[in-house]
Amino acid sequence: MTVVADLLDRIGPVAAPSKGAAEARAWLDRHGLPDRRDEAWRYTPVPAVVEALAETPPSDAGPVPSGAVPAAIAIDRDLVDRRAGRPDGPRLVVVDGRLAAPLSDLDALPAAVRVGPAGGAPGAPPADGFEALGRVVGGGAVAVDVGPGGDRRLHVVHVATGRSGGAHPALSLHVSAGAAFELIETFVGVGAAAVVNAATRVTAEDGATVGLVRVVAEDDESVHVGRTAVALGRGATLRGTSVLVGGRIARHALDVDAAAPGSHVDVAGLAVPRHHDRHDTVVTVDHAGDDVRSGQIFRVIAADRGRGSFSGHVIVRPGTVGTDADQSSRALLLGPDAQADSRPWLEIFADDVRCTHGATVGRLDDDALFYLRSRGIPAAEARRLLVAAFAAEVVDRIGDTGTREWVEARVRARTVGAG
Amino acid sequence: MLSIHDLTATAGETRILDGVDLDVPAGEVHVVMGPNGAGKSTLANVIAGRDGYEVTGTATLDGVDLLGLTPEERAVRGLFLAFQYPVEIPGVGNAAFLRTALNAHRAARGEPEVAAVDFLGLAREHMARLDIDPAFLSRAVNEGFSGGEKKRNEILQMSLLEPRLAVLDETDSGLDLDALRIVAAGIERLRTPERAMVVITHYPRLLDLVRPDRVHVLAAGRIVTSGGPELVATIEAEGFAPLVGSAVG
Ligand SMILES: Nc1ncnc2c1ncn2[C@@H]1O[C@H](COP(=O)(O)OP(=O)(O)OP(=O)(O)O)[C@@H](O)[C@H]1O
Ligand SMILES: [Mg+2]
């Protein structure tokens, strides 16, 4: 794999080699990075991601590239508040993949929640070549372990400074049987172009209820490829909300392994590409267990020449019964050059399946716009109301008020004047 | 107050309004009747500023040229259109919508915004008078409202915004008798010497409750006959055909 070797030559590894890194390297040599033939990557320009990574010179390469943040930039709590909103409840701050203890509320963690470094031990096979790459480079890893109990929430803010070699944050979350927990991950920059390659792995034991909110709010010139892999135990519930509101390239792959019976998967996503952004969300729900219900709703609001894509991959394994899978995708195009793709991707190998999907692409409703304006509401405000209403189906799922309002503000800022 | 002269409206190749003349002085309630497809809603839409028509002629409100203004500018100058088919807007809360509309009017008058709590009080007051369940405030604008509920919501908006000129497009259609009385009361409350109203209707029943000053018949895009309230009885007895003569088919 000359691409991989060349890339690794430029960007790493920077970490001490571990067993996990060695295995990831072997995986990478076998599988390589995703390419055009890879269906799951159809809507993300992989060469542009590779190029962005390769352009970040090794850390010992001398002068900081123009536009990058000087090494001395002070990332303090104020800056994080300004960039990522102030959540209710405790927050961890991870800078370029490394937990920044002084900025984190490590003393105020919710009951029975433990946070520590994840070892370099081999884990599940990588979801894709970029995750493998992240393990090889050794971007840093945080492990969150959640014991019994309910009603707890932790906010993790990932800050990317545009450091050389990209940021490769990895986070693992383990939620014990019967416990309830919500993880909010937000990804922000500090005004410099950054490349972020983030991997989150979640294990929900039997009967656990896990909320995942993931907001990619990278800076305009940044590139983000991320994935969340979730393994659900018997009767476990996942409520996932994915939001892409930043980055010239932003991708989120959410893979749900529903191998145990009776789990419930409820995921929703919103992408708001503008300028020339490419935003791509790929959700895969693998119904490998019986009586698994899944619902996916997805919304794209595309402005300027932005393009938002959604693939809803549903796999139903042979011999399973009681599968219920719904999918709905709607796109709002705020300009003649905006684009949206919606791809239901169904692989159903069982009979006892109820499966629905629907997709629409539209523009702002002229009748609604006229109705609002006829009440004295200025056109721009009327558009804003309609755009916010379109986003609300996803955004309103974010229970944390601080995070929700921050996302609403970003959606507004990204769509102002469009439509 | 409202003065319309030689107004035409064309959509694509279709001439829908074909030289409408209409004067509605302050303090008066005028009724516009006419067969289906005559152009009544188009007239209302053109006055309110809906796009999609090529318009010629003039329409002024207190001497101000309406046709040169955006819909929102017309609204804050005191024009209100109660829609024949109020639009459902999923995701936009009725309370937020009403408050945003009221504040847009207040901003245009140089008045401060109404705070959310004060607004709720005000809205509840109007809703009580119009016999609208306050629960409607927390629903999306018109979404899932019954036909009659939508019409009441139009009257609620009119009542809150207190327009100087209201155009009611078949607001009485589909209403039960109680609702009709409430709508009539809403109209009467705004019947003051400085306001005026244009009521588009097919039903004399409303006109038993709201006595019009003048009645106009619109057919094939023109006002073909105008008269006093007695014209309603003639129309009821004989239909539009004798009045419109050659103007319709
Ligand atoms: N945008 C348009 N393009 C083409 N034709 C149109 C358009 N809008 C209205 N029309 C036509 O113009 C005519 C008048 O329509 P309008 O809705 O104004 O009638 P109306 O008098 O309100 O009828 P009703 O009593 O049924 O409500 C109709 O024949 C209608 O189909
Ligand atoms: Mg009509």
* A93-139 pLDDT tens trace: 999 999 999 999 999 999 999 998 876 555 789 999 999 999 998 76
Using the 8-state DSSP alphabet, how is residue A167 labeled? B
Query: Tokens 């609001």 map to which residue?
Result: A301
Which CATH number fits the domain that encloses residue B143? 3.40.50.300
DSSP-derived pairing of the beta strands B29-33 and A180-189 = unpaired
User: Which ligand lies nearest to the CA atom of residue B35 in the structure?
Assistant: 1
Amino acid identity, residue A121? Answer: A
Domain enclosing residue A207, as ranges: 3-364
In three-state secondary structure terms, A228 is: strand
Is there a contact between A275 and A413 (Cβ–Cβ < 8 Å)? no
Please give the pLDDT value at position B204: 83
**Long-range contacts formed by B64-72: CB under 8 A, 24+ apart:** B70/A373, B70/A379, B71/A370, B71/A373, B71/A374, B72/A373, B72/A374, B72/A375, B72/A376, B72/A377, B72/A378, B72/A379, B72/A382, B72/B104
What ipTM, to 2 d.p.? Answer: 0.96
Indicate which of A330, A369, A375, A386 best probes the interface with B, i.e. most B CBs within 10 Å of its own CB: A375
Amino acid identity, residue B115? Answer: A
For residue range A17-44, list pLDDT tens digits in order: 788 888 999 999 999 999 878 999 999 9
Is there a contact between B43 and B32 (Cβ–Cβ < 8 Å)? yes
Is it the case that residue A67 has pLDDT exceeding 60? no
Minimum-distance CB partner of A385 among B72, B76, B92: B92
Residue A390 lies in a domain: no
Backbone angle region of A395, left / alpha / beta, with phi > 0 → left and psi within -120 to 50 → alpha = alpha
Residue A374 lies in a domain: no
Average pLDDT (A330-340) is: 96
B157 interaction partners in chain A (CB closer than 8 Å): 375
B85 C-alpha to center of ligand 2: Å? 9
* Chain A contact present for B70, CB below 8 A: yes
Residue A373 lies in a domain: no
- Residue from A284, A406, A290 nearest A38 by CA: A284
| Exposure b/e, A134-170, CB count within 10 A at least 16 = b | bbbbbbbbbbbebbeeeebbbbbbbbbbbbbbbbbbb
Please give the pLDDT value at position A290: 97
Is there a contact between A165 and A41 (Cβ–Cβ < 8 Å)? no
Is there a contact between B39 and B221 (Cβ–Cβ < 8 Å)? yes
Number of domains in chain B: 1
In three-state secondary structure terms, B147 is: helix
DSSP β-bridge partners for residue B60: B3, B65
For residue B73, give Cα distances in angstroms to A76, A337, A342, B3, B42.
Answer: 47, 30, 39, 17, 19
Please give the pLDDT value at position A18: 81
Amino acid identity, residue B122? Answer: L
Domain enclosing residue B224, as ranges: 2-248
B41 C-alpha to center of ligand 1: Å? 7
Low-confidence ranges of chain B (pLDDT < 50): 247-249
Average pLDDT value for chain A: 91
Q: Is A319 exposed, middle or buried (0-12, 13-18, 19+ CB in 10 A)?
A: exposed
Mark yes or no for CB contact B71/A374 under 8 Å.
yes
Query: Tokens 């970040």 map to which residue?
Result: A56
- Residue from A418, A381, A335, A379 nearest B69 by CA: A379
- Say how many C-beta atoms besides its own lie within 10 A of residue B68's C-beta: 10
Cα gap B230→A119, rounded to integer Å? 91
Cα gap A193→A161, rounded to integer Å? 8
Confidence of residue A66 (pLDDT cuts 50, 70, 90): very low
- Say how many C-beta atoms besides its own lie within 10 A of residue A106's C-beta: 13
Number of domains in chain A: 1
- Say how many C-beta atoms besides its own lie within 10 A of residue A69's C-beta: 18
Is it the case that residue A357 has pLDDT exceeding 80? yes
DSSP-derived pairing of the beta strands B2-11 and B54-61 = antiparallel
B41 CB under 6 A from ligand 1? yes
A188, containing H or E segment = strand A180-189
Which stretch of A76-80, A292-296, B20-24, B98-102 has the lowest confidence by average pLDDT? A76-80
Cα gap B228→B31, rounded to integer Å? 10
Query: Tokens 């916010």 map to which residue?
Result: A388
User: Which ligand lies nearest to the CA atom of residue B33 in the structure?
Assistant: 1
- pLDDT above 70 covers what percent of chain A? 93
A173's tokens: 């979350």
For residue range B102-138, list pLDDT tens digits in order: 999 999 999 999 998 999 999 999 999 888 888 999 9
Using the 8-state DSSP alphabet, how is residue B220 labeled? T
Q: Is the peptide bond before A148 cis (omega within 30 degrees of 0)?
A: no
Is it the case that residue A242 has pLDDT exceeding 70? yes
Confidence of residue A328 (pLDDT cuts 50, 70, 90): very high
B90 interaction partners in chain A (CB closer than 8 Å): 389
Cα gap A140→A222, rounded to integer Å? 20
B40 CB under 6 A from ligand 1? yes
Cα gap A37→A39, rounded to integer Å? 6
* Chain B contact present for A364, CB below 8 A: no
Is it the case that residue A343 has pLDDT exceeding 60? yes
Amino acid identity, residue A400? Answer: D
B3's tokens: 């003065």
Mark yes or no for CB contact B104/A392 under 8 Å.
no
Is there a contact between A96 and A84 (Cβ–Cβ < 8 Å)? no
Q: Is B14 exposed, middle or buried (0-12, 13-18, 19+ CB in 10 A)?
A: exposed
B12, containing H or E segment = none
Is it the case that residue A1 has pLDDT exceeding 70? no
DSSP β-bridge partners for residue A355: A325
Locate the chain A residue with the closest alpha carbon to B78: A376
B16 CB under 6 A from ligand 1? yes
- Residue from A99, A4, A14 nearest A59 by CA: A14
Amino acid identity, residue B153? Answer: N
Is it the case that residue A2 has pLDDT exceeding 80? no
B163 CB under 6 A from ligand 1? no
Mark yes or no for CB contact B97/A379 under 8 Å.
no
Is it the case that residue A57 has pLDDT exceeding 80? no
Cα gap A184→A243, rounded to integer Å? 11
Structure pTM? Answer: 0.91
Is it the case that residue A62 has pLDDT exceeding 60? no
Taking the CA of residue B221 as reference, the ligand 1 atom at the shortest distance is 14
Is there a contact between A91 and A155 (Cβ–Cβ < 8 Å)? yes
Indicate which of B66, B72, B84, B105 best probes the interface with A, i.e. most A CBs within 10 Å of its own CB: B72
Q: Is the dihedral of CA A30, A34, A37, A38 positive or negative?
A: positive
Residue A333 lies in a domain: yes
Is there a contact between A4 and A30 (Cβ–Cβ < 8 Å)? no
Cα gap A414→B160, rounded to integer Å? 33
Q: How many angstroms away from the CA of B127 is the closest CA of chain A?
A: 18
Q: Is B196 exposed, middle or buried (0-12, 13-18, 19+ CB in 10 A)?
A: buried
